[in-house]
Amino acid sequence: MRQDERTRYDQALRTARMSAYPPGEFVEQESFMRAGEIRSLARRAGIGPGVSVLDLCCGVAGPGRFITAELDCTYLGVDLDPRAIELARARAAGLSCRFAIGEVPPVPRGPFEVVLLLETMLAFADKAALLREVSAALVPGGRFAFTVEEGRPLTEPEQEAMPAAHTVWPVPLTELVSGLSGVGLEVRWIRECSRSHRLVAASLIDAFLAERSAIESELGDGALDDLLTSHRRWRDWMTTGRVRKFAVVAVKTDGRRTAGERRRGWFRSSR
């Protein structure tokens, strides 16, 4: 997708996206997270003035720019798409944001105090390689804050029905936690956000349909049909529990825990 095409895609969906979120909750995110959820996760991860943050697969960096403006962190956003990075740079004027074009993994070596991965854990088939890189990029005590689609791998019929299924890799939560632990990342906070994300998915479907003529005039009917299909799948999967969504903060530790911590389990839950 060329830069002019990426800009046209972004602009074609903008009106629908703005109308799909409650007032104040749209910050140019390309996901189901509301601004309040982004802010809450950032604060749970200890993001604040001067904290060094690496945002992986940032896209146009709506959440990253929002966090930087609100919490005054030091921010580096990375994405493989040069068109998205160009848009992010243009929209980050006046903010202490830096951007880089690159495939993930590898992950830039900071070290960083916080690594963010918002709504894109799903795209990594090899999550073990990603987690090793994230851990290596964090300082001791650093935090990995992310969202994840929890569930079994897609069946063959589900893959055939989902657009871009090669980027859709849910993971059982126990498997993910084990993978985190194996690279020295201990889950300290987790919250299920399936309901809120399902509601946003449904709202986006309605908004896209309301703006269908305008969107199709810019993008054609194929792009919108794929978008609607994928959003309907996510809405239905989160309704039935086929997929559950979680926000998570894991901390880089030295692997030592007290007997009391082991008895209490591996996370503090917030619902």
> For 94-103, how does the pLDDT look when each residue is reduced to its tens digit (9 = 90+)?
999 999 999 9
Contact assessment for residue 56 and residue 116, using Cβ atoms and an 8 Å cutoff: yes
pLDDT in tens, 149-175: 999 999 999 999 999 999 999 999 999
* Residue 256 one-letter amino acid: R
Distances (CA, A) of 84 to 10, 91, 100: 9, 11, 11
What pTM, to 2 d.p., does this model score? 0.91
Q: Strand 74-79 and strand 97-101: pairing?
A: parallel
At 48 the pLDDT is 97
State the CATH class of domain 3-253: alpha beta
What mean pLDDT comes out for the span 233-245? 98
By mean pLDDT, which of 3-7, 108-112, 202-206, 218-222 is the weakest? Answer: 3-7
Q: Please check the confidence at residue 107 and state whether its pLDDT lies above 70.
A: yes
Instruction: From 18, 41, 42, select the one nearest 30 (Cα to Cα).
Output: 18
Contact assessment for residue 63 and residue 33, using Cβ atoms and an 8 Å cutoff: yes
Q: 168 — phi, psi (to 5°)? A: -120, 100
At 208 the pLDDT is 97
pLDDT in tens, 68-95: 999 999 999 999 999 999 999 999 999 9
- For residue 160, with 0-12 CB atoms within 10 Å meaning exposed, 13-18 middle and 19 or more buried, which class applies? exposed
Q: Please check the confidence at residue 4 and state whether its pLDDT lies above 90.
A: no
Q: 62 — phi, psi (to 5°)? A: -55, -55
pLDDT in tens, 199-230: 999 999 999 999 999 999 999 889 999 999 99
